[in-house]
Structure 1
Amino acid sequence: MGFAAFPGEGSHHCSFGLAIHAEESQQWQWHDFCKTQYASNPEKGGLANFVRCHQRVLALLDLCEELSILSSASDPSGYRDHRNLEQLVAYVCDANVFTAAAIGCLKDGLETRGYSAEAPILERADFEHLEAQGRLQTPPPASAN
């Protein structure tokens, strides 16, 4: 049993529900994800749209938690824990720069071999600017593990 929710333009849909996956199990389970990053595309409404979409998803998570039907959820931005809009916006801006640089490298490599790439970040009018900004940044240090 469940439902799908569409947080807004540019965002992935998210689904919520309860399901038993094994006959012997009486534990209800559900797993899904919702990527709101691409709602920050200026042509989809920009940062204000992203914030609205992200907050809508978290409002649903908060409600599920209140109803005691949420066992866990993660938010890579950390916003679910800190609820700081400045940190959320900084996170998505950094994510857009990183994603543009990574997808740009992949796209360039594929095109030299006669292939093409498709990704929501490529739809942004400012993609090349974000990509260039990302390529100028120093990558994080490699993990010691």
Structure 2
Amino acid sequence: MKFFLFSKISFEIPEPIALIECYCYQNDFYSRYDLLEDKKIEDVNKIGARIKKEVLSECKKITERTKSLNIFKYNLEQLLNLDEKDRDEQIKELNESVIQELLKINGIGLSTATKILHTLYPKIIPMIDSLLQKKYRRVINDGWTEKRADEIFIDFYNNLKMGSN
């Protein structure tokens, strides 16, 4: 099966279901995480974030005061169906109001910030780990930095709009 990253990088995975199953069985924290209902910010450590309690408290203040952002009111399909300009504006607001504020906290990088947001909004916010960020920077946008996190999100959602993804 052929997959695309950021609409530009293609790769083949002959047995994607088998690969997913293998990965999930190797990582027991995902099985515990999936059983949780009404996830709270503290649950981010159940997917390997390793955030100290005092740092998590700072993160919680930011996520609490920004939970009314428009982007969090949508499910994925609704977000993808917005016109591109509106969607991009909401992603930029997410970056400025939440992600950049989280990144100011010592010990929080974009990978951890996306884990936090994915924990709270799993249907709309992806986890973007450091390997994906490095690939994005190397292949798609060599000037990209965490300060411009909206760009990787915009490209992520544009990728989902492709018919084959």
TM-score of the aligned structures, taking structure 1 as reference length: 0.34
TM-score of the aligned structures, taking structure 2 as reference length: 0.31
Q: Which has the higher helix share?
A: 2
Tell which has more relative contact order, 1 or 2 (C-alpha 8 A, sep 6+): 2
Query: Which protein has the larger Cα radius of gyration, Structure 1 or Structure 2?
Result: 1
